[in-house]
Amino acid sequence: MTVGQLGMKHPSLAGMVEAIRVSLSREAMHYRFTENAVAFMKTCVEFVLTQKVSTMAQLQTSLLKHFKRILIFDSTSWDISPKLKDVLPGSGGEASDANCKMQVCYEYKRGQLSFFELTSGITPDGAYTAHLPGHLQRGDLILFDLGYFNLNTFFEINAMGAYFISRLSLGIGLFNPLSCLPLDLYGILKKLKGNVHQMDVIVGSNKKTQVISRLVCLRVSPKIAEQRRRKLRKNSQKKGRTPSQYHLSLADWTLMITNVPSKWVPAEMVRIFYMLRWQIELLFKQLKTVLCIHKSNTGRENRLRCEIYGKLIVAILIHRVHAEINIRLWNNNKKQLSIEKLYKRIQERAFIILDLLLISLQKAIDYLRTEIPRLINSCLKSSQQSRRSTLEIIECGSLYPKKPIMLYTP
């Protein structure tokens, strides 16, 4: 489907399409942001998302090969004009009256963005979790932020033959898989001496949604533990509470649950896999610092949505270019292309690309085909043995190859 064919699906947008070709006043353009324009822009985003590169390969390492896809779900939000509080409400009070949240899925092995969904800022991630199993396939690995923690979702993921890695919500019950008796997590951790431990547990009290998982316990440095305790005390003080000794003691550990077999991802590597979530944080950073998706002066919903969809199209295209080059560089030379540097280099050439687009789409494409190969060397990530990237650690297969993993059997 071409841009022209997209326009045919929305004939009332003839004026908006023409506005791209001729000069219009700011006011005239403003009134062309209608519901039909929003539908058109949303269709364009969906069209770009569905365009797959037939020859697209995937990142190759021994630890990644066990999973069909590695999906990272996360959200980002930003304040918008208070005039939109009835459409996209915020929390109010000290926070903004209007806030926009965007749910995103990123597939790591192929570097592809799967979907975007816009919601109000007050919609919790946990409420969105129930929709996630519908996006999954057997053999997928899903990485969750703690805000998405939901035992029903974990149960469905496990039942369909997919895998998850998530931080543990401390209010969830843990049980011995042999005796089915509750585990004294505080007592167990207090006796442990090493830094890396794992044990099989039953997660959750509801027998209909219980999942047998690995509980991976990773001791953090005293500095990080103290930072966590200060944050815990501060947050508790805001609510007029005093943190329990149980929660303060658990600040010494990063606790994670997963149904991935230990032979595929050893305990010490679970945190490294979880760190892949930073890839989506890099996306959010570029959306805001380069594409300025969070900046809009409009108080009209239609214009706001059109602006967001337009910037998302640019983001999808840049990530498509990055993925194709980055995968080839890694698989052939074990080098990586920085998404941050690529965004900045394209930003520096934005007005050139825009001028060429106004003349001819083909001229803009020809320019990018010539220019992007020139940018690769300036966008490469520097490789340091003392500061390996997450992918380099996964390729190595171990963070501490000489240190044995201490196992605990309840």
DSSP, residue by residue, 352-379: HHHHHHHH-HHHHHHHHHHHHHHHHHHH
pLDDT at 294 over 50: yes
pLDDT at 195 over 70: yes
Alpha helices in 290-399, H assignment, sequence order: 301-333, 339-348, 350-359, 361-379, 390-396
φ, ψ (nearest 5 deg) of residue 99: -150, 140
Q: How many domains are contained in the chain?
A: 1
Q: Is residue 33 situated within a structural domain?
A: no
Q: For residue 273, give its domain range.
A: 60-218+244-337+380-410
Query: In this predicted structure, which of 90-104, 132-146, 171-185, 197-211 has the lowest mean pLDDT?
Result: 90-104
Q: At what angle do helices 35-50 and 301-333 cross, to 10 degrees?
A: 10
pLDDT at 34 over 50: yes
Contacts of 256 (CB under 8 A, 6+ apart): 165, 166, 167, 168, 215, 216, 218, 270, 271, 274
The pLDDT of residue 9 is: 52
The pLDDT of residue 403 is: 45
- Confidence band, pLDDT 50/70/90 cuts, at residue 226: very high
Q: What is the pLDDT of residues 303-350, one digit of tens each?
A: 999 999 999 999 999 998 999 999 999 999 999 999 999 999 999 999
Q: Is residue 179 situated within a structural domain?
A: yes
SS3 109: coil
Q: What is the pLDDT of residues 270-289, one digit of tens each?
A: 999 999 998 899 999 999 99
Q: Is residue 148 situated within a structural domain?
A: yes
pLDDT at 385 over 90: no
- Count Cα atoms within 13 angstroms, Cβ side, for 189: 22
Which residues does residue 72 pair with via DSSP β-bridges, in sequence order?
Answer: 106, 143
- Confidence band, pLDDT 50/70/90 cuts, at residue 410: very low
pTM: 0.84
Q: What is the pLDDT of residues 119-153, one digit of tens each?
A: 898 888 887 888 888 888 999 999 988 888 989 99
Contact indicator for 93, 70 with CB cutoff of 8 Å: no
Q: How far apart are CA 330 and CA 334, in angstroms?
A: 4
Contacts of 217 (CB under 8 A, 6+ apart): 189, 192, 196, 197, 198, 199, 253, 254, 255
Q: How far apart are CA 75 and CA 128, in angstroms?
A: 10
Structure tokens at 158: 């496990």
Which residues does residue 167 pair with via DSSP β-bridges, in sequence order?
Answer: 256
Q: How far apart are CA 175 and CA 208, in angstroms?
A: 14
Q: How far apart are CA 167 and CA 144, in angstroms?
A: 8
Q: What is the CATH number of the domain that holds 149?
A: 3.90.350
Q: How many CB atoms lie within 10 A of CB 387?
A: 8
> Which amino acid is residue 86, in one-letter code?
D
Query: In this predicted structure, which of 5-14, 54-63, 181-190, 332-341 has the lowest mean pLDDT?
Result: 5-14
The pLDDT of residue 1 is: 45
Look at 131 and 217; give whichever has higher pLDDT. 217
The pLDDT of residue 286 is: 92
Q: Is residue 51 situated within a structural domain?
A: no
Beta strand segments in 68-210, E = 70-79, 99-107, 112-120, 141-144, 163-167, 174-175, 196-203
Q: What is the pLDDT of residues 319-332, one digit of tens each?
A: 989 999 999 999 99
Q: Is residue 297 situated within a structural domain?
A: yes
